Amino acid sequence: MTDLVIVGGGPAGLTTALALDAARPGRASEIVVLERARYPREKPCAGAVGRRGDDLLATIGVRVDVSGVPISGMALGAAGTERTARTGTIGRVVRRLEFDAALAAEVRRRGIRVVEGAKVESLMHRGDGASARVDVVTDGAVFTAPFVVGADGVGSVARRALGLPGATMLAQVLEVDTPAVAGDRPRDLLYFDLHDRELAGYFWDFPTLVDGEPLVCRGVYQLRSGTSAAEGPPGPDLTSRLGARLAAQGLSIDACKRKRYSERGYVSRERIGDDRCLLVGEAAGIDPTTGEGIAQAIEYGVLAGRFLARVLQGRAEARGWGRELARSRLGVDLRVRSRLARAFYGDARPELEAMLVSGDSAVLAGSRHFGGKRHDLSTLGQVGWNIGRAWLEHQLHGVTRSRVGR
């Protein structure tokens, strides 16, 4: 009998399988992971993995040993200035082509079944109570289990099967890999450029390795939000925006292979499961402020795997997954970032941008968070003070503009 079918073989789905196996050893063969493509498969992604993701994998005895670029800090450009913070090793930049394949190999090594080339077409619930099951229908077979995890990304079939609405926070992303140019930051830094305020997002430059060659992954992130982000206004043209920035750096977008994709931002009021199906990773939603996804996918997987172990042992109910996420460190972080995205990419952006680069505290806190390092309370206090002051300035400016307009 199969205990669990996981739809999607990215970091969220694979980590869920590994965490469940670690929490409930001896039943690895009763877990099935369905992956639509075949490893190694190309996966557009900037590839930055916060160290907290690798540290979480270590708690279940996993290390993904692939080539990458070690990262020790961040640089942030906004409001006409730039701030840099280094806090020791905070992560690495990898290629998802290699990272996911290595993680899948570890899943297989532990005796968990991974089925490649399995395009999931539908999920069908049947039966009631303790005997209820879910049929996961692919283009070649049907897999049946009492529980299913939807880890199948933005276009999640599992999410649709739950009757959930379309994305209300949907980001459009365009990236390219280029040689380094004069003016690039040192290769141990992740650089975020917020200077284009017509973007509800940012540009980035991350060091990367492609077939052993040191290159730079450059891209643009644009968040769209509303009752149905996919059907809202199209927003700025990302190709022309990124093309103009590349031209200013002495590069041509026409000489680059363009990789375009979407990301789903987390919305706290949305349901992420029922009594038989749980959503994790991008199917549930990731950080909408920056679009960071890999470390969060791993955190989703570890949390879900441990939770499902309790469910299968009769010590928890699957319908409690939303509460489990909400009270976790990940859930708190996602709620904060969801609110921050709406505030930062709104009318208060000028004041909040100025706050971010008014000192080193914000970029230092962001760097520590990415690396899973303990925060310094004085730094967090300074960030909180600066946010409060920026919001007050925004409110006062709004009152002034209102009076001038009368």
| 227, pLDDT greater than 60 | no
Distance of CA 341 to the CA centre of its chain: 14
* One domain, residues 326 and 357: no
* 383 shares a domain with 348: yes
* CA–CA separation, 89 and 246 (whole Å): 28
Give the model confidence (pLDDT) of 243-289 as tens digits. 999 999 999 999 999 999 999 999 988 899 999 999 999 999 999 99
Same domain, 18 and 124: yes
Lowest pLDDT segment from 150-154, 229-233, 313-317, 330-334: 229-233
User: CA–CA separation, 21 vs 406, rounded Å?
Assistant: 65
Do 22 and 130 belong to one domain?
Answer: yes
Task: Kindly state the helix (H) or strand (E) to which residue 398 belongs, with its residue range.
Answer: helix 377-404
Q: Check whether residue 318 and residue 236 sit in a common domain.
A: no
**Parent domain of 122:** 4-47+95-164+271-335
- Per the structure, the count of domains in the chain is 3
Q: Is residue 221 part of a domain?
A: yes
Using DSSP's 3-state secondary structure scheme, residue 204 falls into strand
On whether both 31 and 114 belong to a single domain, the answer is yes
Do 28 and 144 have their domain in common?
A: yes
- Is 33 in contact with 107 (CB distance < 8 Å)? yes
- Residue 373 binned pLDDT confidence (cut-offs 50, 70, 90): confident
pLDDT exceeds 60 at position 209:
yes
In-domain check, residue 56? no
What is residue 346's predicted lDDT score, i.e. its pLDDT?
86
Residue 198, both tokens:
């017509």
Q: Does residue 311 fall inside a structural domain?
A: yes
Residue 182 is assigned to a structural domain of this protein: yes
189 and 331 co-located in one domain: no
pLDDT tens, position by position, 115-162:
999 999 999 999 888 789 999 999 999 999 999 999 999 999 999 999
Asked if residue 294 is part of any domain, the answer here is: yes
Burial of residue 84 (CB within 10 Å: 0-12, 13-18, 19+) is middle
Orientation of helix 329-344 relative to helix 294-312, angle to 10° = 140
Please name the amino acid found at residue 323.
R
Which of 264, 288, 320 lies at the terminal end of a domain, its last residue? 264
- Based on the fold, state whether residues 156 and 193 are members of the same structural domain: no
Q: Find the CATH number of the domain harbouring 115.
A: 3.50.50.60
The four Cα atoms 370, 372, 378, 379 give a dihedral, to 10 degrees, of -10
